[in-house]
Chain A
Amino acid sequence: MGVAVDGRLLARALADPASVAELNGPGWQALLTMARAELLSATLAHRLDGIAKPAAAQRFLDDAKASCAQGRLVALWEVEMARRALGDLGVPVVLLKGSAFIAAGLAAGRGRFVGDLDILVPRADLDRVEAALLGAGWEWVKPDPYDDAYYRRWMHELPPLIHRERDRMIDVHHTILPLTARPTPDADALIADSIALPNGLRMLNSDDMICHAAAHLFADGDLSGGMRNLWDIHCLVDDFGVAGLAERARRHGLAPAVRRALRLCHALYDTQLPDGWARSGSDDELYLRRLTARDGWGRQTRPVTRLGFYARSHWLRMPPLMLARHLWTKWRKEAG
């Protein structure tokens, strides 16, 4: 095919929309397919609004925008139905991630495909929130007592709930990282310093949104979807700046994660960083290799790098002894 193509092609188009003028047919095909695979096709569509492009590329991007618009509508409806179920409890309900971005009309929400609804509530109010949701038509996804007990004791969220009519999931968190993971963010501060939305629900303040995105980028999963997470962070930094971020990140024990996230944003998307924020660091190249491991056919590439990150991510979520015990119990159940 010629020059090896990876996620940097997509990063460049997002960071510098005018650069697509250099693309030929195969280049456009690779860019569009890769954007779709990284769930960034609608984001790309918005970034390339008004830029001259082949008609077929415009159609592809218009379709992506249409897809995203419908997804956004459905996601906002879930937010509304959660509000109807929880609004009268007197409990602060904080929207997280994509749902928050679109509910608040942030740049990070533009072209964002939003999945399940994630909310954060005080740990002390979990029972009442759970009861209200069950009363309003949500039900448990997995009625398994071991998983349930594990979840409730160690995870940062209730076991997953799904609405019986609408078939959409809601994840109710009481902190933003598993209790078994190493950094332990200050959940009370996240909620206390959250911001009210017009509909009565809340969202994290901008520093906390960046901390949350960074925490999940590195602590949760093997960096797949990383290009999109970093684009979220890029938009948040662009919108709100980073004054107060360093101190807030230290408070949550997330300073290394946030610093690395910002360096990677700068490397991929040219995010403007003020003095005092490093632009490069050790291992960044390895992370960038993993993040951009996508080819023009939409395939994930660089299997050895990916495997390294996958193994790492499980180790981060649980101390080794707990992981062994958890896996052993699961194996026993499956085998016996």
Chain B
Amino acid sequence: MATLYRAASPDSLIVVPVDLLTAIYHRASGQTHLMASPAPEILEALTEAPLDAAALLVKLRADYDLVDADPAALAARLDELVETGLVERR
């Protein structure tokens, strides 16, 4: 079974758009992250329910118009998000 990814719950995050970037405060860790697309969109897409990488790609293309979303790049972003603790592998 493919690895599922789950994002931190919405009430554990304070999200503030700051011009082209998004500032995110993660209450559970006390860490601040400054993110560029598609990282904030990935987080939002994973909030409702955990998804595997393939399903996430589909959702990103559909909901956020990310037409050039590429599986290898997505995998790299997911790894980064897992390392920060904003996303958990299940």
Binding site for B on A (CB under 8 A): 70, 73-74, 76-77, 80-81, 84, 137, 165
Partner-A contacts on B (CB < 8 A): 27-30, 83-85, 88
Please report whether the interface of chain B is mostly helix, strand, loop or mixed according to DSSP. loop
Residues of chain A lying within 8 A (CB to CB) of residue B85: 77, 80-81, 84
The 8 Å CB contact of A73, one of B30, B84, B88, is B30
16 contacts between A and B (CB under 8 A): A70-B30, A73-B29, A73-B30, A74-B29, A74-B30, A76-B28, A77-B28, A77-B29, A77-B85, A80-B28, A80-B85, A81-B85, A84-B85, A84-B88, A165-B83, A165-B84
Q: A70-B30, A73-B27, A77-B30 are in contact. List 7 more A-B contacts (CB 8 A).
A: A73-B29, A73-B30, A74-B29, A77-B29, A80-B28, A84-B85, A137-B83
Q: Compute how far the CA of A77 lies from the CA of B29 in the bound complex, rounded to whole angstroms.
A: 5
Q: A137 — which chain B residues lie within 8 A by C-beta?
A: 83
Residue in A closest to B82 when the chains form the complex, CB atoms: A84
A140 → chain B closest CB, angstroms: 18
| A81 CB contacts on chain B under 8 angstroms | 85
**Which of the listed residues A74, A77, A80 has the most CB atoms from chain B within 10 Å of its own CB?**
A77
Most buried by A among B27, B30, B84, B85: B30
Q: Give how many A-B residue pairs fall within 8 Å (CB-CB).
A: 20
Q: How far in angstroms is the closest Cβ of chain A from B45?
A: 21
Minimum Cβ distance to chain A for residue B77 (Å): 16
Q: How far is the CB of A17 from chain B (nearest CB, A)?
A: 30
Q: Give Cα A274 to B88, complex, Å.
A: 48
**Which residues of chain B come closer than 8 Å to A84, judged between CB atoms?**
85, 88
Complex CA distance for A81 and B31, rounded to whole angstroms: 13
CA distance A108 to B88 in the complex (A): 31
Listed from nearest, the 8 A-B pairs whose CB atoms lie closest are: A77-B29, A73-B30, A74-B30, A77-B28, A165-B83, A81-B85, A84-B88, A137-B83
Write the chain B residue with the least CB distance to A77: B29
Chain B residues closer than 8 Å to A73, beta-carbon distance: 27-30
Bound CA–CA A165/B85 (angstroms): 11
Tell me the minimal C-beta distance from A188 to chain B in angstroms.
32
Inter-chain CA distance A73–B29, complex, in Å, is: 6
Closest to A70 in B: B30
Contacts of B28 in A (CB 8 A): 73, 76-77, 80
Cβ of A39 to closest chain B Cβ, rounded Å: 19
CB distance from B76 to the nearest CB of A (A): 16
Residues of chain A contacted by B29 (CB below 8 angstroms): 73-74, 77
What residues on B are CB-neighbors of A80 within 8 Å? Answer: 28, 85
Residues of A close to B84: CB separation below 8 A: 165
B27's nearest neighbour on chain A, judged by CB, is A73
Q: How far is the CA of A165 from the CA of B27 in the complex (A)?
A: 17
Whole-angstrom CA separation of A165 from B83 in the bound complex: 8
Residue of B nearest to A74 (CB): B30
Distance, CA A303 to CA B27, complexed state (A): 44
